[in-house]
A and B are shown apart, each in its own frame.
Chain A
Amino acid sequence: MPQTTTQSKYTTVSIPITLHDRIEKMIIKKSGFKSVSDYVTYVLREVVAMHETKDVPEPFTSTDVEEIKARLKALGYL
């Protein structure tokens, strides 16, 4: 059965208890994160996005570029 409630959209990942406690200590001092899970989610999204977007090629071919440049010139953008 498809799961549609927001509650079902979480899963568990194990991290060392020492790391958990270290994060907990830090976020108590710094506001902004409600829980260790929030913090871990935030950091992972930041890091994953960095890896995903590394060396993404431009989404056009060299033929595209010539055609596009011709239009841009005709319109006065180049």
Chain B
Amino acid sequence: MALSPHGGRLVQVRAIEGSNEKIKELSENSRIRVSEETRVQMLNISNGVLSPVTGFMGKADYENVIENMRLADDTPWTIPVLLHVPDDFVAGTSDEITLVDDNTRPLGILEFEELFSISKKEYAKKVFGTEEEAHPGVAKAYASSDRVVSGKLKSVARLDAGGFENYTLSPKETRVLFVEKGWKDVIAFQTRNAPHIGHEYVQKTGLAFADGIFINPVLGKKKAGDFTDEVILETYQALVKNYYPKNSVVLSVLHYEMQYAGPKEAIMHAIMRKNFGCSHIAIGRDHAGVGNYYGPYAAHEIFKEFPDLGIQAVFFREFFYCNKCAGIANEKICPHLESDRLSFSGTKLRKMFQSGETPPKEFMRPEVSQVILKSKTPFVE
């Protein structure tokens, strides 16, 4: 029996065919120039990653999502999918809108439904739990307009995957792949990092009970100091090739802009992986968090509110290297002192790489370190 997509149906938006139709629709409709983030959302709506959402949210869905963490039909959903438009936007007479990129190339056709305003402060407070502009998600919300347009995506142009086409699988494809591999229990691993040993242990602990692991790194806009997309993909390829049993891993990327909404984003991460056909998702410490905005295990707690999520979260405590255990451990299995432990800190790793140092093998696999050391630009500037 297949694992149900979220909301019971895998959304598929048809592709715009033929250039004549493209030109016609472009010239007759009013247009909205959309951001790269919106373009990526269109990609994810069109291939069902964001099922059952079929377009940009209207007022009823928006309000229920921020108030009750559910779509208007009661389906769990924690972060609104909005299309912001300039304050002076006029919908025009046509009931369709062409969404275009910076070069006015059409990206898709929207069936216009509503034009309404949101309170950015309320959005910030409800989604991120803070109104502080120091939070990157809040800053982004404040910088966008408070006018939004809703509607169903009628069709989309071929939306490119920024050079990562060969590593981008759609939910339809992963679902077929898992069936072909004979996997029933598939645990998803969300990441935006090059893997250190701590990540590997989370994955392998999951793999110990599942049939396979779906490693699904997030590519797209990142913060300065984060690993670049190329390095994230290549380091994972090195790790999988050298340290995983054959046929135990599917590695494919997700085009998605991190929101840093902590617990609420953890739910969205789970929903997206459910749509890819995963039965489980690994949720670590401070999942999708930033700074000190969320408790270290707030992203674990929130799952209790969703008995109907349809994907099982597997919660992990942080792994570290313990000198006394002489191996990788975590709080649940190691009785030793803090001073016996070496924690896997991203900041520490970055400093080592910036000074050309190879981290110890207890910290990161040498094959993974090599990829980073060989890269001219391992970090986002």
Contacts and interface: CB of A to CB of B under 8 A. Distances in A.
Interface of A: 4, 6, 9, 32, 42-43, 45-46, 48-49, 52-60, 64-65, 68-69, 71-72, 75, 77-78
Contacts of A77: 169, 177, 250, 252
- In the complex, which range does the number of interface residues on chain B fall in? 20 to 34
Top 8 closest A-B pairs, CB basis? A49-B308, A46-B307, A59-B10, A53-B4, A56-B4, A45-B308, A68-B176, A58-B2
Given A59-B172, A78-B180, 11 more contacts: A4-B59, A45-B74, A45-B307, A49-B310, A56-B2, A59-B5, A59-B175, A68-B173, A68-B176, A69-B176, A77-B177
Contacts of A43: 307
Contact of A72 (B12, B176, B304, B306): B176
Nearest to B51: A59
Nearest to A74: B166
Nearest to B179: A58
Interface string B297-330: 0000000101110100000000000000000000
Interface of B: 1-5, 8-10, 12, 48, 59, 63-64, 67-68, 74, 166-167, 169, 172-173, 175-177, 179-180, 250, 252, 304, 306-308, 310
Contacts of A72: 169, 173, 176-177, 180
Nearest to A50: B308
B68 to A, nearest CB: 7
A46 B308 contact: yes
Nearest to B176: A68
Given A52-B8, A53-B8, A77-B250, A60 B308 contact: no
Given A42-B307, A72-B180, A55 B1 contact: yes
A39 to B, nearest CB: 11
Nearest to A46: B307
B277 to A, nearest CB: 9
Given A4-B63, A46-B308, A69 B4 contact: no
A5 B184 CA distance: 42
Task: With a 10 A CB-CB cut-off, give which of A4, A46, A68 has the most chain B CB atoms.
Answer: A68
A48 B308 contact: yes
A53 B310 contact: yes
B51 to A, nearest CB: 9
26 contacts: A4-B63, A6-B68, A32-B304, A43-B307, A46-B307, A52-B8, A53-B4, A53-B8, A53-B310, A54-B1, A55-B1, A56-B1, A56-B5, A57-B2, A58-B2, A59-B9, A59-B48, A60-B175, A64-B176, A68-B173, A68-B177, A69-B180, A72-B169, A72-B173, A77-B250, A77-B252
A64 B173 CA distance: 9
A76 to B, nearest CB: 9
Contacts of A60: 172, 175-176
Contacts of A75: 166-167
